[in-house]
Amino acid sequence: MKVTEQEIDAAISAYNGNVVREVGRKQINAMRAALEAAHRVRKQRKKEKRMLKEGQSAINEMREVIVKPAPKPSTGQFEAGKSYRTRDGRKVYLTKVDDRGPQSIRGAVPYHNFLQKWYANGRFRKGCETDLDLIALWTDQ
């Protein structure tokens, strides 16, 4: 049942006793229910706008937070006979560093039964970060 604004105004006036018209009680109740529903919708929209504003401000605050990026592999020189720290904090002892082939660094990782190989930039896998990337010279703490 679609109700026009004029009918709603007339119903309100009739309901308040200001104007007497030939509008049945059912129609007045239907118009009143439509008015209450419209009021609830307006109230809900205001609430949604307020929540959207609050959410947007929270997002802006999160954007301002500086997230410390993961350490990148060192591009410096690696030397055989020295120990280096991996991304996950393990100690790696380098046994051989040469310029033959793409994986030119070899070293021993604790709890591995064989020597591991790294690329010249310290990466364990080409094109992605892994826990075994060499990131810094080992320092005893």
Q: What is the pLDDT of residues 95-122, one digit of tens each?
A: 988 877 788 899 998 877 788 999 888 8
pLDDT in tens, 3-20: 677 777 777 766 665 444
DSSP 96-127: EE-SSSS--EEEE-TT-SS-EEE-TTS-SBTT
pLDDT of residue 76: 52
- Overall pTM surpassing 0.75 (yes/no): no
More confident residue, 127 or 134: 134
Name which of 132, 127, 135 is nearest 109 in CA terms: 132
Name which of 27, 20, 39, 36 is nearest 3 in CA terms: 27
Domain boundaries in the chain?
A: 5-64, 83-137
For the cut 80, the answer to whether the pLDDT of residue 127 exceeds it is: yes
